[in-house]
């Protein structure tokens, strides 16, 4: 059974710092991996999706990498801002007969203070 | 505006009652999903539907039921058989099961009194 772990559980940084969030998964046979952002009491916002054949994806100040063989993904946030404060979740899709069935990590709570 | 709507935002239920949570999308997506989120935990899949008139159980389907009679709609019923229904419920959709970047609605918070 796929298990997804996110480290650290919480992170507090000063504004302007570059930071890395980590996601690891136990079964490397994945179809894709998706990173989400969740603000308190809200739904999830999709940030980046990486297919299993890709090594990284970029969107603005965000860069997500994928190392399928080692079961790891990282989300890099450049020049962090207070508006980046949120919970960040990663989720993996095993594909095959389970297309769309995402397994989520527990998230990293990020606080960026001015 | 294209998107996913969920209603109501807050729902209170007495023990022993069934309640239905609404999820509607106007994105023309084939696939739809229901998740449950508990404090300090990641999301867990309840049910998913890859196409109209078809749906499959997720990891925690016991005590829940769904229907998919229209492409745009995927309502979730929380039955009295669900022992611990208090949670935040999130609906999502994707273009298809294969092109499956998932987009989420704003959620419904259910509280059992």
Rounded CA-CA distance A60/A37 in Å is: 15
Q: How many CB atoms lie within 10 A of CB A114?
A: 7
Q: What is the pLDDT of residues B45-89, one digit of tens each?
A: 999 999 999 999 999 999 999 999 999 999 999 998 888 999 999
Rounded CA-CA distance A58/A65 in Å is: 9
For residue A101, the distance in angstroms to the closest alpha carbon of chain B comes to 7
Residues on chain B touching A46 (C-beta within 8 angstroms): 101-104
Phi-psi region of B97 (alpha: psi -120 to 50; beta: other; left: phi over 0): alpha
Rounded CA-CA distance B38/A2 in Å is: 19
Reference B48, options A93, A52, A23, A49; nearest CA is A93
Pair type for strands B10-13 and B31-37: unpaired
Q: Do A43 and B105 lie within an 8 Å CB cutoff?
A: yes
Q: What is the pLDDT of residues B29-57, one digit of tens each?
A: 999 999 999 987 789 999 999 999 999 99
> Which member of A41, A45, A101 has the closest CB to residue B45?
A101
For residue A48, the distance in angstroms to the closest alpha carbon of chain B comes to 9
Two tokens, residue B101:
């970047």
What is the predicted pLDDT for the residue at B1?
59
Put simply, whether A51 touches B (Cβ < 8 Å) is no
Contacts for A51-59 with beta carbons within 8 Å, 24 or more apart?
A52/A95
Rg, C-alpha atoms of chain A: 14
Q: What is the pLDDT of residues A38-97, one digit of tens each?
A: 999 999 999 999 999 999 999 999 999 999 999 999 999 999 999 999 999 999 998 877
Rounded CA-CA distance A108/A22 in Å is: 9
> Which member of A43, A100, A105 has the closest CB to residue B33?
A100
Phi-psi region of B107 (alpha: psi -120 to 50; beta: other; left: phi over 0): left
Rounded CA-CA distance A106/A96 in Å is: 24
> Which member of A43, A99, A106 has the closest CB to residue B104?
A43
Put simply, whether A41 touches B (Cβ < 8 Å) is yes
């Amino acid at each position: 059974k796929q298990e997804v772990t996110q480290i650290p559980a919480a992170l507090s940084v000063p504004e302007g710092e570059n930071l890395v969030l980590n996601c690891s998964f136990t079964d490397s046979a994945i179809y894709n991996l998706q990173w989400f952002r969740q603000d308190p009491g809200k739904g999830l916002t999709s940030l980046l999706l990486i297919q299993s054949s890709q090594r990284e994806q970029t969107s603005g100040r965000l860069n997500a990498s994928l190392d399928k063989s080692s079961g790891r993904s990282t989300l890099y946030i450049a020049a962090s801002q207070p508006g980046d404060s949120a919970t960040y979740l990663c989720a993996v899709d095993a594909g095959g007969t389970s297309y769309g069935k995402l397994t989520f990590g527990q998230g990293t709570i990020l606080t960026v203070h001015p | 505006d294209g998107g996913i709507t969920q209603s109501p935002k807050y729902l209170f239920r007495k023990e022993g009652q069934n309640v239905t949570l609404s999820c509607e999308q106007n994105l023309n997506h084939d696939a739809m999903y229901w998740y449950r989120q508990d404090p300090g935990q990641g999301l867990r899949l309840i049910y998913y539907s890859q196409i109209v008139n078809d749906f499959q159980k997720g990891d925690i389907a016991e005590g829940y039921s769904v229907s998919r009679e229209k492409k745009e709609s995927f309502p979730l019923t929380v039955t009295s058989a669900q022992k611990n229904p208090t949670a935040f419920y999130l609906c999502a959709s994707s273009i298809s099961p294969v092109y499956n970047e998932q987009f989420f609605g704003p959620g419904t918070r259910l509280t059992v009194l």
